[in-house]
């Protein structure tokens, strides 16, 4: 059975005291996670150790980095390696968020290198893909997302791919309050799964967790997560509000 995940992306928000209070507030609420359901908090680098301590001993709850560099170590001032993440006990990393693609010019090829090094150090990537508004309006979103998968993931073996979680995040729905309809989300998730099946076979494709991201909130999580090919969400804004994110976790199927 594939995993369902409620993943929080704090982005570049909160002081450490605010982050601690947010984590405390969410963790304190009763959760009814099934064995296949996970909660992941992608927090800023300086808060990783604090967050890792807070969730110690909590079942099915993990901390993620929001990025990592593509090299093992060396003269790359300001960058953070997967070995550093591993040394903190971090098991997850978000890669290819559209904000990183747009503001830091991260290409599909560069992301393939980051995926490789994350897997080499046993850190599971949450690989983000998704089209801008112009592509959606031109009706070529399927081809656009297929290219992102081909160029960043298709060099992986089936066993490696099974460690990757894919997050479909239409850029026009991120932080805009504009959510894709559950039909639009399902359509793209089914497309991604069909493409993975073409390359890796149906059995492998059926094991891959595919998250939806883009203005998920308490009010729409249950309906979106209820779609057959949607296995949870990657959540920005609403993950910064205790009651919202707790309701989103409860919205997992
Ligand atoms: C995100 O940061 O990945 C995201 C989907 O943001 P928001 O939920 O705010 O649209």
CATH number at residue 74: 3.20.20.70
Q: What is the mean pLDDT of each run of 10 residues along the chain (253 residues)?
A: 97 98 94 94 98 96 98 98 98 98 97 98 98 96 98 98 98 86 97 98 98 96 98 98 97 93
Residue 169 catalytic? Answer: yes
Structure tokens at 122: 């046993």
* DSSP code string of 112-158: HHHHHHHHHTT-EEEEEE---HHHHHHT-HHHHHHHHHHHHHTTS-H
| pLDDT for the residue 203 | 98
How much is the pTM? 0.97
Residue 113 catalytic? Answer: no
Range of the domain at 204: 4-250
* Ligand 1 atom 8: residue of nearest CA: 236
* Ligand 1 atom 6: residue of nearest CA: 236
Contact 121, 85 (CB under 8 A): yes
Q: Looking at ligand 1, which atom is closest to the CA of residue 177? A: 10
| pLDDT for the residue 50 | 98
Q: Looking at ligand 1, which atom is closest to the CA of residue 213? A: 5
Q: Residue count of the chain, please give it.
A: 253
| pLDDT for the residue 88 | 98
Q: Which of 99, 106, 131, 169 is catalytic?
A: 169
| pLDDT for the residue 38 | 97
| pLDDT for the residue 31 | 80
User: Could you tell me if the CB of 174 is within 6 A of ligand 1?
Assistant: yes
Distance of CA 23 to the CA centre of its chain: 18
* Ligand 1 atom 1: residue of nearest CA: 236
Give CA–CA dist 218/233, Å, rounded: 11
Give CA–CA dist 126/72, Å, rounded: 19
Mutate to test the pocket of ligand 1, among 5, 6, 9, 167 (most ligand atoms within 8 A of CB): 9
Mutate to test the pocket of ligand 1, among 215, 219, 241 (most ligand atoms within 8 A of CB): 215
| pLDDT for the residue 1 | 87
What's the domain count of the chain?
Answer: 1
User: Could you tell me if the CB of 213 is within 6 A of ligand 1?
Assistant: yes
């Amino acid at each position: 059975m594939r995993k369902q995940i409620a993943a929080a992306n704090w982005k570049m928000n909160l002081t450490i005291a605010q982050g601690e209070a947010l984590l405390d507030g969410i963790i304190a609420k009763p959760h009814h996670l099934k064995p296949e359901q996970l909660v992941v908090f992608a927090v800023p680098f300086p808060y990783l150790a604090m967050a890792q301590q807070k969730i110690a001993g909590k079942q099915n709850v993990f901390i993620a980095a929001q990025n990592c560099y593509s090299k093992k170590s060396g003269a790359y001032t300001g960058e953070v390696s997967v070995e550093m993440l591993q040394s903190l006990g971090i098991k997850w990393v978000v890669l290819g968020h559209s904000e990183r693609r747009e503001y830091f010019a991260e290409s599909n090829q560069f992301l393939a290198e980051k995926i490789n090094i994350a897997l080499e150090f046993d850190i599971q990537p949450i690989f983000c893909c998704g089209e801008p508004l112009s592509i959606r309006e031109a009706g070529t979103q399927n081809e656009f997302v297929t290219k992102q998968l081909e160029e960043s993931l298709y060099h992986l073996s089936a066993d490696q791919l099974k460690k990757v979680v894919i997050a479909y995040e239409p850029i026009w729905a991120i932080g805009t309050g504009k959510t894709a309809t559950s039909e639009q989300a399902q359509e793209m998730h089914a497309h991604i799964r069909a493409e993975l099946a073409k390359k890796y076979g149906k059995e492998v494709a059926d094991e891959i967790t595919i998250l939806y991201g883009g203005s998920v909130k308490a009010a729409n999580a249950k309906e979106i997560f209820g779609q057959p090919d949607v296995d949870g969400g990657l959540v920005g804004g609403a993950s910064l509000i205790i009651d919202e994110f707790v309701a989103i976790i409860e919205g997992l199927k």
